[in-house]
A and B are shown apart, each in its own frame.
Chain A
Amino acid sequence: MTGGNTGMRPVLIFALIGTVFMFGAPYVLQLFTIINLTTAIALAVLALSLALVWGFGGILCFGQVAFFGLGAYAYTMGAINFGGSTWAILVAILVSSAFAAILGYFVFFGRVSDVYLGVITLTVTLIFFSLIRRTSGPEFKIGIAQIGGFNGVTSPPLNLPWDTSSFLFPEQVFYVAMAALILCYVFCGWLMNTHFGRVCVGIRENELRAELLGYDSRLYKLGIFTISAGIAAIGGVLFCNGVGRITPDVFNLYNAALTIIWVIVGGRGTLIGPIAATFGLFYLTSALGGQSTLNNNLVLGVILIFFVLLVPKGVAPTITDWVARRRRPRKASRRARRTMRRDEGSNA
């Protein structure tokens, strides 16, 4: 990752593959599949945001879905009130980031431990869940928008920035979603190659050492936490567009766990792994949803326990490790060089 590095190369390669997919998919796939894919892409943005804050920042956030859901709600409320989606997207990102910044101030400046951080972020999510479920009455509204309680609220679709009456078609929403995912991915890859990103990784590796070098770890953690909440909010905006509405269920324990599982399965310390895992598990759970013998919770629970016990690094790092070992079994120095390159590549 040091100066003049090749760290961005794998990121750009995956971004290119994504771009090809983005323009190719609508020609090959049916509209139904495309609409479904849009939802999966929204979830992949959420996975990416957690991969950033947990995999690179080392911050154990169990409530990433809170920022995602908050973004979706803020977008919906904003779009209803403004009568257009453009500013609502911005509001969604700002609301989520601001909330993360406030929460982050308390937890990082209090220097609470990992376990506490995970539990607090999860608790925040669960409280959003029960809070918004109780807002069914007509008195609960923001501007002219009803919050809608446990039934949720219909999200206005995206429109062209210059024309609030031209709503986007599902294929167009797919393009927007895919472009957003690619941009967020490249942004995260770039961020992890900046001074800021490397300090974050340093703090993950050894917080005391980073402090002894003169970096205020609290500020860096707060920074990456806030940024990742903004990215999660983008995911939320795409999600409520893909589904057409947003309900408090977005904040439930199952979804919080699902986010964690994507990153565990994909691997901590990579960006592409969790994105790939999201698509994989999205299709697995969709397939399981169609039958009734195996419960989704049961399957996800088994997957999570299996990975924690047997593949703790996740799929992507395990594959790269395995490839690296096979290619250069004996030549130690070369292997070391590969490992180095692999670690640069792990920004992918």
Chain B
Amino acid sequence: MDLFVAVTFQLVYGIANLALISLGLAIIFGMMRVINLAHGEFLMLGGYTVVVATNAGVNIWVAMLILAPLVVGVIGVIVERVIIRWLYGRMVDTLLATWGLSLLLIGLVTSIFGASTATTISPPLGIIRIGDYSASGYELFLIGVTLVLFLAVFATLKLTKLGLVARGTMQNPEMSSALGVSTTKIYMITFGLGAAVTGLAGGLLAPVTGVLPTIGATYIAKAFITVISGGSAILAGTAAGSILLGGINGIFSFLTGPTLGEVALLVAAIILLRLMPRGITGRFFRKSL
């Protein structure tokens, strides 16, 4: 029984983790149909924000929940204004420019903070006991945050004007310009929001993983597969992708160790795309958010 609880908890944590690192990427992909190749570096910047802020004496919760999304969100808006907006309609070039940005950010952070691990911070919250099994309170907290974040994005999409336009754009990219909405502004906000959510995720994960200039690379493979397997619906896609791939990853990791877990994740995603080239939400739940 305790083993069952432990395995289930790890599985749920794995899925939540995947959803958390992918959501910001999914927001940008859902709205702009572009995969942000600098996604890993946005996560990395969120982590550095937390490390630098806590070292300067800022409360860790303030650093993770407020500063990380704020700083990375602002960087996202700047990036959109300086680079991305010149490339709208040129999908491949946008992809390439974000890759250039990824290298640039790695280089910049390495120049400032050095190539090795910055001061680590230990995860707040202690151990929680479930019967004989003890779980990390912080992992439980991350699962909770992921759920709250999904609800927040859901509310934004459902209740705000931005959300209305966003839903229109997801269903039909030409529609928002037909509505007379300034697509430029929408894209700027989208990119900023996607970056902010990514920064938050990066900040929250910093105590678990530590920070390194190249840490982005360890996240992006998983985030990319989750988002493209999920398809272009932001929430349903990320959720479906995370549950399916996180589940497969979890089961394989449990059975054979973490190495094959990642391979299984990739193989599953490739087979899935053979069957559903536009991802799960390209085939099912097309009207979903």
Contact = CB atoms under 8 A, between A and B. Distances in A.
Contacts of A126: 217, 220-221
B99 A260 contact: yes
B103 A301 contact: yes
Given A120-B273, A309-B87, A297 B263 contact: no
Contact of A127 (B93, B101, B262): B262
Contact of A260 (B96, B105, B262): B96
A110 B96 CA distance: 23
A60 B92 contact: yes
Interface string B266-284: 1001110111011000000
B116 interface: no
Interface stretch (A21-29, A111-119, A176-184, A317-325): A111-119
A296 B271 CA distance: 36
B83 interface: yes
Contacts of B218: 130
Interface string B252-271: 00000011001100100111
A120 B270 contact: yes
Contacts of B104: 297-298, 301-302, 305
B225 A123 contact: yes
B110 A111 contact: no
A118 B95 contact: yes
A341 interface: no
A257 to B, nearest CB: 6
Interface string B32-44: 0111010000000
A86 interface: no
A129 B262 CA distance: 11
Contacts of A298: 103-104, 106-108, 110-111
B52 interface: no
A299 interface: yes
A124 B274 CA distance: 15
B96 to A, nearest CB: 5
Given A253-B217, A297-B106, A110 B228 contact: no
B198 interface: no
A164 B9 CA distance: 56
Contacts of B97: 304-305, 308-309
Nearest to B94: A308
B266 A123 contact: yes
Given A114-B91, A122-B224, A312-B93, A127 B266 contact: yes
A131 interface: yes
B144 to A, nearest CB: 29
A116 B277 contact: yes
A254 B101 CA distance: 12
Interface stretch (A101-109, A195-203, A235-243, A270-278): A101-109
A297 B90 CA distance: 24
Nearest to B213: A297
A119 B33 contact: no
Nearest to B111: A295
Contact of B273 (A116, A124, A130): A116
Q: Using C-beta atoms within 8 Å of the partner chain, give the interface range for chain A.
A: 35 or more
B274 to A, nearest CB: 4
Contact of A113 (B99, B100, B277): B277
Interface string B89-129: 01111011101111111111011000000000000000000
A29 B262 CA distance: 46
Contacts of B214: 253
Contacts of B100: 300-305, 308
Interface string A286-300: 000000001111111
A297 B99 contact: no
A130 B218 CA distance: 8
A130 B221 contact: yes
B61 interface: no
Nearest to B260: A131
Given A103-B270, A131-B263, A305-B100, A119 B224 contact: yes
Given A134-B259, A304-B100, A309-B97, A295 B86 contact: no
Contacts of A112: 273, 277
Contact of B103 (A60, A109, A297): A297
Given A106-B270, A260-B96, A119 B106 contact: no
A264 interface: yes
A24 B187 CA distance: 55
Given A134-B259, A301-B103, A301-B105, A124 B266 contact: yes
Contact of A110 (B220, B259, B275): B275
Contacts of A111: 277
Among A116, A123, A264, A299, residue most surrounded by chain B Cβ atoms (within 10 Å): A123
Contacts of A109: 274
Interface in B116-160: none
Given A295-B107, A297-B107, A309-B86, A127 B221 contact: yes
Which are the 4 A-B pairs with shortest beta-carbon distances? Answer: A298-B107, A301-B104, A304-B100, A301-B103
20 contacts: A113-B278, A115-B34, A119-B35, A120-B269, A124-B266, A126-B217, A127-B221, A127-B262, A130-B259, A260-B99, A295-B107, A297-B106, A298-B107, A301-B101, A301-B102, A301-B103, A304-B96, A304-B100, A305-B100, A309-B97
